[in-house]
């Protein structure tokens, strides 16, 4: 094996900086990003970074000024958002307790999930309200996007009743509801389809399970009951597992 210095080239991945919108010219970072760039990453003027925004646009940029007054960068080589190569995944789920929800958001982001909808269900235990939780989830999503180099930032919806989400269901976007009932279709069978859908919404219920009324709503909406594993999973485990499996679903040639 060649040693460093004997012709072995080690690629350096540029640090990622989140901005509100990627555009050419000078951009001044907000206080949080300025602190991260200057005091955590300890970057210096002249360093080259990659900037990205929520929509998925990226660009190469050079840090032009870093001081106590703020951080400014000069954007070049803008790359417009590219169309995702796989299935666009939406996870609509009841909210688990405590930091389990934070962990879930972070991992869904890493997996490239496009949208997270926290659900109000009849047996939900946790109904996070106010800006503090959503702001924390967004901070976690941005940090995860930096680390994972995913395109854009996961969209995080406000807490939404299940019925409202089902109203937007269309035949063009399959809906899967994770179920432990015997009649549910094993996910492995569904993944045998040679043509994955362009987009999919996956519903994860609360730990108390879906009510009969909610199951009726899924039936009316045309959702498919899907068995994920032979065991009963926690909310966050089911959400991340389902997202990971679907993220690996590729067309067969």
Residues contacting residue 120 through CB under 8 Å, at least 6 positions apart = 127, 159, 160, 161, 162
Domain boundary among 79, 96, 114: 79
Residue with tokens 């540029």, as numbered in its chain: 14
Same structural domain, 75 and 92: no
CATH value at residue 38: 2.40.240.20
Domain boundary among 79, 97, 112: 79
Residue with tokens 């009726």, as numbered in its chain: 216
Cβ-contact 32, 140 below 8 angstroms: no
Cβ-contact 113, 243 below 8 angstroms: yes
Q: Which residues span the domain enclosing 41?
A: 16-79
Query: What is the per-residue pLDDT for 67?
Result: 85
Same structural domain, 104 and 58: no
Same structural domain, 110 and 34: no
Same structural domain, 61 and 175: no
Query: What is the per-residue pLDDT for 34?
Result: 93
> Domain total for the chain?
2
Bridge pairing between strands 175-178 and 224-227: parallel
Query: What is the per-residue pLDDT for 133?
Result: 85
In order, the DSSP letters of 193-236 are: -SS--SEEEEEE--TT---HHHHHHHHHHTPEEEE--SSPPPHH
The mean pLDDT values, 10 residues at a time, for the chain of 253 residues are: 42 80 93 91 92 91 89 86 77 94 97 96 83 89 93 94 89 88 90 90 94 94 93 95 93 68
CA–CA separation, 143 and 139 (whole Å): 6
Cβ-contact 53, 20 below 8 angstroms: yes
CATH value at residue 130: 3.40.1280.10
Task: Give the C-alpha distances (Å, rounded to integers) separating 171 from 67, 192, 198, 223.
Answer: 53, 20, 12, 9
Same structural domain, 68 and 125: no
Same structural domain, 189 and 71: no
Residue with tokens 């940090």, as numbered in its chain: 143
**Has residue 31 been placed in a domain?**
yes
Query: What is the per-residue pLDDT for 16?
Result: 92
DSSP at 173? B
CA–CA separation, 30 and 18 (whole Å): 9
Same structural domain, 70 and 97: no
Query: What is the per-residue pLDDT for 83?
Result: 61
Query: What is the per-residue pLDDT for 19?
Result: 94
In order, the DSSP letters of 106-124 are: HHHHHTT--EEEEEE-TT-
Same structural domain, 92 and 74: no
Same structural domain, 113 and 67: no
- The pair of structure tokens assigned to 75 is 């954007």
DSSP at 144? H
Cβ-contact 19, 65 below 8 angstroms: no
**Degrees to nearest 5, angle at CA 133 with 130 and 139:** 130
How many secondary structure helices (H) and strands (E) does the chain include?
7, 13
Same structural domain, 100 and 42: no
């Amino acid at each position: 094996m060649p040693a460093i210095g004997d012709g072995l080239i080690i690629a350096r991945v540029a640090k990622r900086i989140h901005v509100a919108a990627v555009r050419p010219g000078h951009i001044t970072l907000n206080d949080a990003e300025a602190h991260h760039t200057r005091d955590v990453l300890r970057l210096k003027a002249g360093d080259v970074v990659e900037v990205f925004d929520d929509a998925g646009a990226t660009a190469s940029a050079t840090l032009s000024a870093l001081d106590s007054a703020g951080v400014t960068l000069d954007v070049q080589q803008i790359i417009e958002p590219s169309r995702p190569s796989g299935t666009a995944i939406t996870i609509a789920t009841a909210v688990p307790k405590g930091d389990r929800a934070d962990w879930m958001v972070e991992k869904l982001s890493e997996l490239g999930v496009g949208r997270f909808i926290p659900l109000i269900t009849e047996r939900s235990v946790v109904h996070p309200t106010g800006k503090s939780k959503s702001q924390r989830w967004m901070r976690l999503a941005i940090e995860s996007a930096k680390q994972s180099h995913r395109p854009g930032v996961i969209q995080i919806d406000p807490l939404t009743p299940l019925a409202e989400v089902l109203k937007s269901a269309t035949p063009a976007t399959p809906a899967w509801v994770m179920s432990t009932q015997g009649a549910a279709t094993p996910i492995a069978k569904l993944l045998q389809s040679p043509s994955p859908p362009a987009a999919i919404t996956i519903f994860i219920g609360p730990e108390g399970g879906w009510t009969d009324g909610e199951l009726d709503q899924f039936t009316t909406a045309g959702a498919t009951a899907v068995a994920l594993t032979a065991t009963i999973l926690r909310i966050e485990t089911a959400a991340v597992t389902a997202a990971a499996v679907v993220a690996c679903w590729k067309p067969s040639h």
